[in-house]
């Protein structure tokens, strides 16, 4: 007799650790990857301005998709008929899909949230859609997402404890139902820890979510408008309390210095729209901080975006040319800045892994922070 499988085929192991710092290896149905890892965001099935070939070239092993956006358009049927999300978007690596709970509560015209789920009208065509913990898992299984996130209620930064407590409790009820709804055990399902900035709520959420035995855990509800020191405080307190032998994911964070601080607390996975959003706006993330290429200061500057960067864009193009492209609204401008930015983030994580391996992370963290103008965040 075989036991019913309750764990995903997505495996994770800590391969090296020292004083709370950790290196890990994650196996997914679409290949393995080393952690800490940065996951580029491809909300609508595209990491904005990048071809999948470019993502491979940059060494990206895992990208994000968003259930809400993909269900709104092109719709679940199209993706299913096209052979699942990987095949539809032609991405051979791993995919983590966010449930879209955050978008349901922020973007959609929300009709009603009950214990059962959320009824909303699509922001795209007004179509009425009903999200329940069960059907959100079912949708992600139809996508074939390597890592699925359950439907949760993520309140904005708010000082009202009762609102945060209610969202935390609903998230727990929904987590239990999500876990029961799983059918495809090759795919991983993570639990999301809520509780805002209230210690006792975070702690309760963490303990009760871990009891349910998910394949990994995420700190949710951070980077939602709270002051940076408060976010750091939460990550410093709660990351070390997350299960040691499972992946720890800090949702939606963040700038390079946020990532470094979270890595120091033992976080393994990050996602953020910053590289591509800033890229589209013409802001480059560099070792010195933010560089607003559009600025007139750079109109005759022959230097690359970042003098210490070895990406294809920095090896070839000047600030002056990229500034011209942005001002002339040439589509190449946002593409070039986005390429540099994503290279910067993926390279930062590669450096982080190398320094953890070599035992020199603390010095690297210190050097990076002192050379980075945090005032420009
Ligand atoms: Zn570069």
* Domains: count for the chain: 2
Domain boundary among 214, 238, 272: 272
On whether residue 374 sits in a domain, the answer given is: no
271 in catalytic set: yes
Tell me the CA distances in angstroms from 243 to 150, 185, 239, 353, one per residue in order: 18, 20, 9, 20
Same domain, 256 and 153: yes
Q: pLDDT (tens digit, 0 to 9) for every residue of the chain, 377 residues total?
A: 444 445 666 799 999 999 999 999 999 999 999 999 999 999 999 999 999 999 999 999 999 999 999 999 999 999 999 999 999 999 999 999 999 888 887 776 777 889 999 998 888 888 999 999 999 999 999 999 999 999 999 888 999 999 999 999 999 999 999 999 999 999 999 999 999 999 999 999 999 999 999 999 999 999 989 999 999 999 999 999 999 999 999 999 999 999 999 999 999 999 999 999 999 999 999 999 999 999 999 999 999 999 999 999 999 999 999 999 999 999 999 999 999 999 999 999 999 999 999 999 999 999 999 999 865 54
Give distance in angstroms: CA of 338 to centre of ligand 1: 9
**For position 9, what pLDDT does the model report?**
67
Euclidean distance between CA atoms 297 and 305, whole angstroms? 13
Same domain as 177, residue 110: yes
CA 30 – ligand 1 centroid, Å? 28
Of the three residues 221, 250, 272, the one that is the final residue of a domain is: 272
Q: Is 21 contained in some domain?
A: yes
User: Does residue 110 belong to any structural domain of this protein?
Assistant: yes
Single out the catalytic residue among 98, 146, 152, 258.
Answer: 98
Give the pTM: 0.96
Q: Give residue 373 CA to ligand 1 midpoint distance, Å.
A: 18
Contact predicate 253/222, CB 8 Å: yes
Residues 285 and 227 in one domain: no
- Tell me, in angstroms, the distance from the centre of ligand 1 to residue 272's CA: 18
Residue 249 lies in a domain: yes
Q: Give residue 91 CA to ligand 1 midpoint distance, Å.
A: 24
Among 212, 237, 272, identify where a domain stops. Answer: 272
Is 199 an annotated catalytic residue?
no
* CA-wise closest residue to 16 among 358, 364, 357, 361: 357
Question: β-strand 94-98 against 216-219: which pairing, if any?
Answer: unpaired
Task: Please tell me whether residues 138 and 245 are part of one structural domain.
Answer: yes
Domain contains 368: no
* In contact, 278 and 285? CB cutoff 8 Å: yes
Report the C-alpha gap between 141 and 343 in whole angstroms: 30
Contact status, residue 146 vs residue 163, Cβ threshold 8 Å: no
Question: 139 C-alpha vs ligand 1 centroid, how far in Å?
Answer: 37
From CA 67, how far away is CA 72, in angstroms rounded? 8
Token reading at 95: 């995919």
Strand partners of residue 17: 22
Could you identify the residue written with the tokens 């750091």? Answer: 232
pLDDT value for 7: 60
Phi/psi at 152 (5° precision): -135, 165
To the nearest 10°, the Cα dihedral for 260, 266, 272, 274?
A: 0
Phi, psi of 227 (to 5 degrees): -65, 145
Can you give the CATH number for the domain in which 177 is found?
3.20.20.105
* Residue 372 counted as domain residue: no
- Give yes or no: residues 283 and 323 share one domain: yes
Three-state DSSP class for 158?
A: coil
8 Å CB contact between 86 and 70: no
d(CA 352, CA 10): 23
In the three-class reduction of DSSP (H, G, I as helix; E, B as strand; rest coil), residue 250 is classed as strand
Q: How far is the CA of 309 from the centre of ligand 1 (A)?
A: 5
Cβ-count burial of 245 within 10 angstroms (0-12 exposed, 13-18 middle, 19+ buried)? exposed
> What are the CA-CA distances from residue 307 to residues 20, 257, 310, 317, 341 (Å)?
33, 19, 8, 11, 13
Q: Report the C-alpha gap between 27 and 323 in whole angstroms.
A: 41
In angstroms, what is the span from residue 319 Cα to ligand 1's centroid? Answer: 11
Question: Do residue 87 and residue 223 come from a single domain?
Answer: yes
Nearest CA-CA partner of 240 in 15, 21, 12: 21
Residue 7 located in a structural domain: no
Q: Assess whether 178 and 298 both reside in one domain.
A: no
Shared domain check, 145 and 89:
yes
Q: What's the CA-to-centroid distance between 296 and ligand 1, angstroms? A: 20
Tell whether 147 and 284 lie within a shared domain.
Answer: no
Q: How far is CA 38 from CA 140, 151, 210, 351, in A?
A: 21, 22, 24, 12
Dmax over CA atoms of the chain, in Å, equals: 73
Measured in Å, residue 26 CA sits from the centre of ligand 1 at: 28
Please report, for residues 18, 61, 225, 283, 286, the alpha-carbon distance to residue 337 in angstroms, rounded to integers and kept in the order given: 36, 21, 26, 7, 11
Q: Which of 146, 152, 258, 271 is catalytic?
A: 271
Residue 300 CA to ligand 1 center (angstroms) comes to 18
Give the pair of three-digit tokens for residue 370: 């002192």
| 41 secondary structure, DSSP code | B
Count helices and strands (H / E) in the chain. Answer: 15, 16
Domain span including residue 309: 279-362
What pLDDT does 207 receive?
98
- Domain check: are 172 and 155 in the same one? yes
Assess whether 17 and 162 both reside in one domain. Answer: yes
Kindly state whether residues 186 and 262 are assigned to the same domain: yes
Classify residue 369: in a domain, yes or no: no
């Amino acid at each position: 007799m075989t036991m019913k499988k309750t764990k995903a085929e997505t495996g994770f192991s800590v391969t090296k650790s020292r004083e709370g710092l950790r290196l890990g290896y994650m196996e997914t149905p679409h290949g393995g990857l080393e952690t800490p890892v940065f996951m580029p965001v491809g909300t609508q099935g595209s990491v904005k301005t990048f071809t999948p070939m470019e993502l491979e070239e940059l060494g990206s092993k895992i990208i994000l998709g968003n259930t809400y956006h993909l269900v709104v358009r092109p719709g679940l049927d199209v993706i299913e008929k096209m052979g699942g999300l990987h095949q539809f978007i032609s991405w051979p690596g791993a995919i983590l899909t966010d449930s879209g709970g955050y978008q349901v509560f922020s973007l959609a015209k929300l009709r009603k949230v009950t214990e059962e789920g959320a009824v909303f009208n699509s922001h795209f065509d007004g179509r009425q859609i009903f999200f329940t913990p069960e059907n959100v898992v079912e949708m992600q299984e139809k996508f074939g997402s390597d890592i699925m996130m359950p439907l949760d209620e993520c309140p904005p930064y708010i000082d009202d404890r009762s609102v945060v407590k209610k969202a935390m409790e609903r998230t727990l009820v929904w987590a239990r139902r999500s876990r029961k709804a799983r059918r495809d055990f090759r795919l991983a399902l993570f639990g999301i820890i809520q509780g805002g900035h209230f210690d006792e709520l975070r702690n309760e959420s963490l303990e009760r979510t871990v009891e349910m035995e998910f394949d990994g855990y995420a700190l949710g509800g951070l980077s939602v408008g709270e002051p940076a020191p408060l976010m750091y405080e939460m990550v410093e307190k709660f990351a070390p309390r997350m299960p040691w032998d499972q992946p720890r994911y800090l949702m939606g964070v963040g700038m390079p210095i946020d990532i470094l601080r979270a890595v120091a607390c033992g976080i393994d996975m990050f996602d953020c729209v910053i590289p591509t959003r800033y890229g589209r706006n013409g802001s480059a993330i560099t070792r010195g901080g933010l560089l607003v290429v559009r600025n007139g200061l750079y109109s005759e500057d022959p230097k690359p975006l970042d003098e210490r960067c070895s990406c294809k864009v920095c090896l070839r193009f000047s600030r002056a040319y990229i500034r011209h492209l942005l001002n002339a609204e040439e589509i190449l401008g946002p593409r070039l800045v986005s390429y540099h930015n994503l290279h910067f983030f993926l390279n930062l994580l590669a450096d982080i892994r190398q320094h953890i391996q070599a035992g020199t992370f603390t010095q690297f963290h210190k050097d990076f922070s002192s050379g980075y103008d945090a005032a420009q965040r």
